[in-house]
Amino acid sequence: MMKHDHSHHADHGLHPSPMAMPASHQGHAGHASMADDFRRRFWISLALTIPVLATSEMVQHLLGLRGVLTFPGARYVEFGFASAVYLYGGWPFLTGLVAELRNRLPGMMTLVGLAISVAYLYSAAVVFGLSGTVFFWETATLIDIMLLGHWIEMRSVLGASRALEELVRLLPAEAHRLRSDGSTDDVPVTELRQDDLVLVKPGERIPADGAITEGRTTVNQALLTGESQPVEKGPGEAVLRGSVNGGGPNTTRITRTGAETYRVQRIE
C-alpha cells in the first residue's frame, strides 16, 4: 500500500481534541479513533455494496443472472446505493482530497478521491441520459478496498505506537555521571554529552549508547536487537541505550545521545 500523510484526517473529525486527554494518550486515542472510523465505514459500505452488485448489469451477465435480477427501475436503485457508498464510504478520501489540494501537497487521498469521483459522476450522468456505461460497482468495490486497507494500516500504526511507548517507558530517566574526582552525580539523561563517563550499576539500563571503559558484564539487549541471550561485554565494546546491565558495575563512555542513538535510528 502506498504511504501517505495522515495529517489531513484532522480535517474530517477523526482526531479527538488535544485538550480532551493527557498528552501521552493523544496519539493512541487519535489512531484508535481513526481505526474505528475506517472499520465502521468499511462494514457499512460493504453492506451497501451488495445491492449495487446485485443490480449491476455487468455483474448480472458475469453470474448469468441477468433474467433473474432484472426489474424496472434497477438502474435507479443501483444509483441510490452507489451514492450512499460514495458519500459515506468515500467521505474520508473526498475530504482528504480537498485538504491535500488546499495544502498543495497531492498524495494518496487526491488519487483515490479523483478516481472515485470521476467514476461516480460519469456513471450518474449516464443514469440520467448521457450515453455510456455505468461504473457504480467498480467505484463501490474500490471504496471498500481502500477503506479496508486504511483500517488495517491504522491498526498497525496503533500497535506500533503502543509498542514504542512501552519501550520508552523502560528507558532510564537519570544517569550516574562520573566527576573528575571519581564521585557520581545523578543527572537527567538529556544532560549527557558525548565522552561523558557514567557508572552503570547491576540491574540498571544503559542510559545512552556508549562503550565500556572499565569492568566486564553481561548485557541483555533483547528489546533492541532481538538477541535472546545476554551478551558479554568488556572494555572497548559497545553497549546500547536501554539494554540491561545483567552483571557487575561498569563505567561507560557515552558515544551517542538523543536522536543519534541506535534505538531512535531504528524507529525512524
Q: Where are the domains of the chain?
A: 6-170, 174-267
What is the Cα–Cα distance from 205 to 207, expressed in whole angstroms? 6
| Predicted local distance difference test score (pLDDT) of residue 38 | 95
Concatenated DSSP letters of 12-52: GT-SPPGGGS-HHHHHHHHHHHHHHHHHHHHHHHHHHHHHH
Residues 6+ apart with CB under 8 A from 89: 41, 42, 44, 45, 48, 140, 143, 144, 147
Does the domain formed by 174-267 have CATH 3.40.50.11890?
A: no
Q: What is the pLDDT along the chain (268 residues), one digit of tens a residue?
A: 444 444 444 344 343 333 333 343 455 666 778 889 999 999 999 999 999 999 998 888 787 777 667 788 899 999 999 999 999 999 999 999 999 999 999 999 999 999 999 999 999 999 999 999 999 999 999 999 999 999 999 888 887 777 667 666 767 888 999 998 889 999 998 899 999 999 999 989 888 889 999 999 898 877 666 666 888 999 999 988 888 888 889 999 999 886 555 455 454 4
Tens digit of pLDDT for each residue in 234-266?
999 998 888 888 888 999 999 988 655 545 545
Residue 17 has what pLDDT? 33
Q: Is residue 180 classed as helix, strand or coil in its secondary structure?
A: coil
Helix (H, G, I), strand (E, B) or coil at 97: helix
Report the candidate in 260, 70, 218, 49 with the shortest Cα–Cα distance to residue 136. 49
CA distance 150 to 138: 18
User: What is residue 77's predicted lDDT score, i.e. its pLDDT?
Assistant: 95
Q: What is the DSSP letter of 262?
A: H
Q: What is the pLDDT of residue 2?
A: 41
Q: What pLDDT does 24 receive?
A: 38
**What sign for the dihedral angle of Cα 257, 258, 263, 266?**
negative
Question: Residue 120 and residue 86: Cα distance in Å, rounded?
Answer: 7
